[in-house]
Amino acid sequence: MDKCISDNLLLQYLLNDLDTDTCELVRAHLNECPSCQKRTEIYSEDSELKQWQECHLRSQNGDDSKNHPFSQDKLDRLFNSTVSSIQQSKTTVAKSVRPSSHNSSILLRKEPEPPPIRVIGQYQLIKKIGQGGMGVVYESVHSRLKKQVVLKLLLNKDWENTDQTQRFYREMELIGQLDHPNIVKATDAGEADDTCFLVMEYLDGHDLKTILKQEGPLSITAACSILRQAANGLQYIHNHDLIHRDIKPSNLFLTTDGQVKILDLGLAGLRHAGSSLDDLTDTNCIMGSAYYMAPEQAQSIKTIDQRSDIYSLGCTFYQLLTGQVPFRRETPVETIIAHREDSVPRLADQLPEIPVLLEELFQSMAKKNPDDRIQTMAEVVKILDEFLNQKSELPLNETSDTYLTESQELKELCLKTVLTPPVEAQKYYSSTQYQPTQRILKYKKIIIIASIIIMTGILTLGIQYISRTNHTTNTKLKSSTAIPNDRQPEKENPKSIPAPGLTSTQAKIERDVANWALDHGCEINIVVPYGEEYPTIEQKKSLPNEDFYVKIIAFKKIQMITQEKLSRLSGLTNLYELQLNDNPIEDDALAAVSGLTSLQKLDLHASGITDKGLSHISNLKNLTNLSLQINSNITDEGLQVINQLKNLVSLNLAKTNISDEGLIFIQNNQKIDWLNIEGTKVSDESVKHLKKLILLEHLFVKGSKISKAGIKEINDFFKKRNHLPFYINPTP
């Protein structure tokens, strides 16, 4: 940045409102430009800032700057100062918002700026703690009562007439009407200094998005405790004929007392269409967050009901347990379509110990058709109570508006998370609105206006063109034992197959294989063309009369896996997943499935597979998930085949006999984003190889030879990325 910083950009910088790249440009310029350093005095009363400027002035006059050290902590504090450091000056405000043409190239986004003032009505603004589409949130103090509160300020210059202002008023009204232990409480609202504001109770703790980022997946008990409280609060909301419409981890706050609070009712609407509040909703606007949005919500927010919140809470439950969202695609629109079209992943795929009661609760909450879902939050609470009472770990205090008395586990969970969270943090395309006028930047691709209009049109008008034969399933939750499976995430879930009808020959092959598999101790999943996926089938009598494809085969009965047995599968054309885990396997067995090019998931953990046996999978070019954990016969030599599987996104090598040499063979698998090398001989020598996995998001290294310094180096490297999160276990 050669030219001086514009007033507008400098003010945004002091308000900490710039993206990371622009912030670094401004910081670098301020370190070198005495003129811009001097201009900061207009906006700040900070003595340390003046000290820093004097230090640089002495440096300019020939003094050795090393004799005037200024710590990075101090610089960070100065350069991230918030609105409390800005003088309340009308002339300064007018000057600061004047555009500067020579700096327009580095203003990457145009958002309304928070009013540069320190006092709103009776409230002293302390620091900004979050910003969303409608408002900016400050930690504040009541000037007379000296009580700490949170103040949400409307982020809109034309505040008197806009729909955005009306939505803000709606949030005031909604929060003011609700009084429940699991919903954030409003304490005041009003208008001051040409804007409107909402005051809420100050919560000491962290939102679940922050906790997940720092801690990773939660324990089953903790996740159920959180889910129960959230469901209870939402039932209270639904009882008032309201729908939240934006349930996600960042809108659920866990206090240091272990209590869950539902945040952000800015998108909430009346359950009955045609209401005055619902009229505020733009029909060209998709409201909600793409990762958690129910299929029907993407089509029309006018006709949704409480079951959309149930779907969103189900997606949140999945993330609490696994650390990942159930559907993740490259763009928001593709993610929304995946919610409608792709099969719901199983919790057991990543969490083998999950009780079936909870597996089926999630599956019921995440049904595509609202009529097939569990129908009320009260039912969700009832099922969770059944599980928690069985665990006998958490006491329940039942009242008319019940909520869970949290265990020490949740309190400690929150206390371990050291970052103060932004109340409305919205990053990584989790914004609550997608309008035709927006432009979304994601994974370095820009979805321009035309794309949003076209794809929104597809969602609202054209997505129904696929005619489906809905298979009637029993949505009543069953109780049984946990489903054993691999811990790995299912990165790409198969779509319900909209292929042309089966030929009679292929239909016979599929049915023959299904019958054979069920006779040989397997469980299978099938898909009817143009229809829905069937539940897991364990007996031949459960097979339908209509034609079907075999999608998943799991060898559940312990048996020797031979080439002869697997050759029975060779005629399948749409086999997606093959589970051979915990069964001994012969070296030549996998040669029989080398032609199954549709295969995407292969589970070989604890099978005794050898390097030679693994070599037969080289032709499975569409493989995305591979589990080899607990196979001591897999060495570095065996990993050579991994280099040929370019679509691999999830790889489990835990407790194999590999070392640094083996990681050389996977460093060029650029799509890998989930890797487990726990209990291996991999050391710090492999840090350089791991850094080449540019999409890596989850890395498990516990029990390996990687040192604490190596873990920190890996963590620091991947945390610098702006567009992807990163989780490493153990944490540095």
Q: Is position 621 within any domain?
A: yes
Distances (CA, A) of 97 to 45, 93, 113, 116, 451: 20, 6, 9, 10, 32
Q: What is the pLDDT of residue 12?
A: 62
Q: Are 595 and 571 in contact (CB under 8 A)?
A: no
Element (H, E) at 237: helix 220-239
Distances (CA, A) of 110 to 18, 197, 657: 10, 22, 53
- The reply to whether omega before 730 is within 30° of 0 (cis) is yes
Q: What is the pLDDT of residue 14?
A: 64
Averaged pLDDT, 99-122: 46
- Whether the pLDDT of residue 511 is over 90: the answer is yes
Q: What is the pLDDT of residue 93?
A: 33
Q: What is the pLDDT of residue 301?
A: 62
| Percent of the chain whose pLDDT exceeds 70 | 62
Which of helix, strand or coil describes residue 419? coil
* DSSP 8-state secondary structure symbol assigned to residue 664: T
Q: Does 147 count as an annotated binding residue?
A: no
Q: Please choose, from the candidates 362, 398, 325, 328, the residue with its C-alpha nearest in 3D space to the C-alpha of residue 220.
A: 362
- What CA–CA distance (Å, rounded) separates 131 from 129? 7
391 shares a domain with 367: yes
Specify whether 246 is catalytic: yes
Which pLDDT band holds residue 72 (cuts at 50, 70, 90)?
very low
* DSSP 8-state secondary structure symbol assigned to residue 681: S
- Whether the pLDDT of residue 680 is over 60: the answer is yes
- Whether the pLDDT of residue 458 is over 60: the answer is no
Q: Which of 30-34, 528-532, 533-537 is least confident?
A: 528-532
Q: What residues does 196 pair with on adjacent strands?
A: 191
Q: What is the pLDDT of residue 244?
A: 85
Q: Find the domain containing 131 and state its range.
A: 119-201
Which pLDDT band holds residue 116 (cuts at 50, 70, 90)?
very low
378 shares a domain with 231: yes
Q: Say which residue, 364 or 191, is predicted with more confidence.
A: 364
Q: Please choose, from the candidates 361, 132, 383, the residue with its C-alpha nearest in 3D space to the C-alpha of residue 267.
A: 132
Q: Which of 32-41, 93-102, 319-328, 385-394 has the highest mean pLDDT?
A: 319-328
- Catalytic residue, from 7, 246, 309, 636: name it: 246
- Whether the pLDDT of residue 621 is over 50: the answer is yes
Q: Which of 19-23, 25-29, 197-201 is least confident?
A: 19-23
Q: Say which residue, 187 or 248, is predicted with more confidence.
A: 248
- Whether the pLDDT of residue 658 is over 50: the answer is yes
527 shares a domain with 673: yes
- What CA–CA distance (Å, rounded) separates 557 from 584? 11
Q: Are 434 and 440 in contact (CB under 8 A)?
A: yes
416 shares a domain with 511: no
Q: What residues does 261 pair with on adjacent strands?
A: 253
Q: What is the pLDDT of residue 298?
A: 76
How many domains does the chain fold into? 4
Q: What residues does 434 pair with on adjacent strands?
A: 286
Q: Say which residue, 359 or 281, is predicted with more confidence.
A: 359
Averaged pLDDT, 28-43: 69
Q: Say which residue, 380 or 438, is predicted with more confidence.
A: 380
Please state the φ and ψ torsions of residue 644, each to the nearest 5 degrees: -90, -5
- What CA–CA distance (Å, rounded) separates 682 from 636? 10
Q: What is the pLDDT of residue 166?
A: 66
Which pLDDT band holds residue 305 (cuts at 50, 70, 90)?
confident
Q: Is position 58 within any domain?
A: yes
376 shares a domain with 450: yes
- Whether the pLDDT of residue 187 is over 50: the answer is yes
Tokens of 714: 């890996």
Q: Is position 320 within any domain?
A: yes
Q: Is position 495 within any domain?
A: no
Q: Say which residue, 332 or 668, is predicted with more confidence.
A: 668
DSSP string, 157-176: SSTTT-HHHHHHHHHHHHHH
Averaged pLDDT, 291-320: 86
Q: What is the pLDDT of residue 723?
A: 61
215 shares a domain with 196: no
Q: Which of 59, 82, 106 is the last residue of a domain?
A: 106
12 shares a domain with 37: yes
Average pLDDT, the chain: 72
Q: Which of 465, 490, 518 is the last residue of a domain?
A: 465
pLDDT tens, position by position, 556-602? 888 999 999 999 999 999 999 999 998 999 999 999 999 998 999 99
Averaged pLDDT, 372-391: 86
178 shares a domain with 216: no
**How many distinct helices (H) and strands (E) make up the chain?**
22, 26
Element (H, E) at 442: strand 440-442
Averaged pLDDT, 319-334: 86
Which pLDDT band holds residue 524 (cuts at 50, 70, 90)?
very high
Tokens of 171: 């949030």
Please state the φ and ψ torsions of residue 162, each to the nearest 5 degrees: -85, 155
- Whether the pLDDT of residue 516 is over 60: the answer is yes
383 shares a domain with 422: yes
Q: What CATH number corresponds to the domain at position 142?
A: 3.30.200.20
Which pLDDT band holds residue 3 (cuts at 50, 70, 90)?
low
Q: What is the pLDDT of residue 434?
A: 27
Q: What residues does 550 pair with on adjacent strands?
A: 526
Q: ∠548-549-555 over CA atoms, to 5°?
A: 120
Q: Is position 391 within any domain?
A: yes
Averaged pLDDT, 537-545: 91
Q: Is position 491 within any domain?
A: no
Q: ∠301-302-308 over CA atoms, to 5°?
A: 45
Q: What is the pLDDT of residue 252?
A: 92
Q: Which of 332-336, 371-375, 397-401 is least confident?
A: 397-401
Please state the φ and ψ torsions of residue 190, each to the nearest 5 degrees: 175, -170
The residue type of 150 is V
- What CA–CA distance (Å, rounded) separates 478 from 364? 11
pLDDT tens, position by position, 221-236? 889 989 999 998 898 8
- Whether the pLDDT of residue 258 is over 50: the answer is yes
Q: Which of 36-40, 114-118, 317-321 is least confident?
A: 114-118
Q: Is position 11 within any domain?
A: yes
Q: What CATH number corresponds to the domain at position 578?
A: 3.80.10.10
How many C-beta atoms surround the C-beta of residue 16 within 10 A? 15
Q: Are 155 and 134 in contact (CB under 8 A)?
A: yes
- What CA–CA distance (Å, rounded) separates 8 from 21? 17
Q: What is the pLDDT of residue 699?
A: 94
Tell if the pTM clears 0.85, that is, is over it: no
- Whether the pLDDT of residue 552 is over 80: the answer is yes
pLDDT tens, position by position, 138-176? 888 887 777 888 888 776 544 444 565 666 666 566 666
Q: Which of 183, 201, 219 is the last residue of a domain?
A: 201
Q: Is position 498 within any domain?
A: no
312 shares a domain with 229: yes
- What CA–CA distance (Å, rounded) separates 271 from 303? 8
The residue type of 666 is I
Sign of the CA dihedral with 332 first, then 334, 336, and 339 last: negative
Q: What is the pLDDT of residue 302?
A: 63
Which pLDDT band holds residue 460 (cuts at 50, 70, 90)?
very low
Q: List, in sequence order, every beta strand (DSSP E) within 443-545.
A: 445-447, 522-527
218 shares a domain with 78: no
Averaged pLDDT, 75-100: 35
Torsion angle (degrees, nearest 10) of CA 30, 33, 35, 39: 0
644 shares a domain with 539: yes
Q: What CATH number corresponds to the domain at position 276?
A: 1.10.510.10
Q: Are 516 and 571 in contact (CB under 8 A)?
A: no
